[in-house]
């Protein structure tokens, strides 16, 4: 068989599709990085609020709860409870951000900047859990997330992660933009 168009190469014409796909993936990657950075700012501000309260403050609640792990999230992490800012009407009643980390002596935790566990409760009482990392924003099945480790030996297992839909992305953006830290009990074993 003779090639009638010798200048035409196999796969030609696929370039724009793949470059658009790469651009799409890069845009989503950079958006997740921005979201992780905003979450780190929330953590920094919350720790600063707690520092201003001081250890001798009359208020015994804190903006940040530190834990070496709970029954549901069996790893060291910071937990911040969020509520809608004043004058913001939201279908989400409460949200929580969990920052994985390592516990060091003295109870200090070094937060992992590459991943964030997000959960929220809607007005109908339903709870939703997610994992945001540089690779994806995924729905998280808590019943299987920490039973098995991923291929890299980390939690959560890949079978516990499913694709987040458009509403989930909208709600995440709402939580990171329109919510603020709320005082919470210092007990670490809180479900949402």
Q: How far is CA 150 from CA 77, 115, 139, 158, in A?
A: 19, 14, 15, 6
Average pLDDT on 97-107 reads 80
CB 39 within 8 A of CB 181: no
Taking Cα atoms as reference points, which of 50, 78, 79 lies closest to residue 62? 50
Beta strands in 85-126 (DSSP E): 92-103, 109-111, 115-122
CA 65, chain centre distance (Å) = 16
* Segments in the chain forming alpha helices (H): 15-53, 142-145, 166-178
Confidence check: pLDDT of 175 > 70 = yes
The pTM of the whole model exceeds 0.85? no
Higher pLDDT, 113 or 83: 83
Give the pLDDT score at 154: 74
Confidence check: pLDDT of 3 > 60 = no
Give the pLDDT score at 178: 96
At 21, the pLDDT band (50, 70, 90 cuts) reads very low
Could you report the per-residue pLDDT of 118-130, keeping only the tens digit for each? 999 999 999 999 9
- Supply 166's token pair: 């458009």
Give the pLDDT score at 29: 85
Portion of the chain with pLDDT greater than 90, in percent: 48
Whole-angstrom Cα distance, residue 172 to residue 130? 9
Could you report the per-residue pLDDT of 46-98, keeping only the tens digit for each? 999 999 888 777 888 899 998 888 889 988 899 999 999 988 899 999 999 99
Whole-angstrom Cα distance, residue 192 to residue 190? 6
Residue with tokens 């001798």: 56
Q: What is the mean pLDDT of the chain?
A: 83
Give the pLDDT score at 102: 80
Give the pLDDT score at 6: 56
């Amino acid at each position: 068989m003779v090639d009638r168009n010798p200048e035409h190469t196999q796969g030609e014409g696929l370039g724009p599709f793949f470059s658009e796909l790469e651009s799409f993936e890069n845009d989503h990657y950079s958006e997740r990085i921005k979201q992780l950075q905003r979450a780190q700012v929330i953590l920094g501000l919350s720790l600063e609020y707690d520092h201003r309260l001081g250890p001798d403050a009359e208020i015994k609640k804190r903006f940040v709860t530190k834990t070496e792990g709970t029954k549901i999230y069996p790893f060291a992490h910071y937990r911040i409870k969020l509520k809608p800012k004043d004058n913001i009407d939201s279908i989400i009643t409460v949200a929580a951000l969990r920052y994985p980390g390592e516990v060091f002596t003295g109870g200090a935790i070094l937060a992992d900047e590459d991943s964030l566990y997000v959960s929220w409760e809607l007005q109908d009482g339903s709870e939703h859990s997610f994992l945001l990392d540089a690779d994806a924003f995924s729905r998280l099945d808590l019943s299987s997330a920490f039973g098995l480790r991923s291929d890299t030996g980390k939690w959560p297992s890949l079978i516990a992660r499913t694709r987040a839909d458009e509403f989930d992305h909208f709600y995440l953006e709402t939580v990171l933009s329109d919510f603020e830290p709320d005082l919470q009990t210092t007990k670490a074993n809180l479900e949402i």
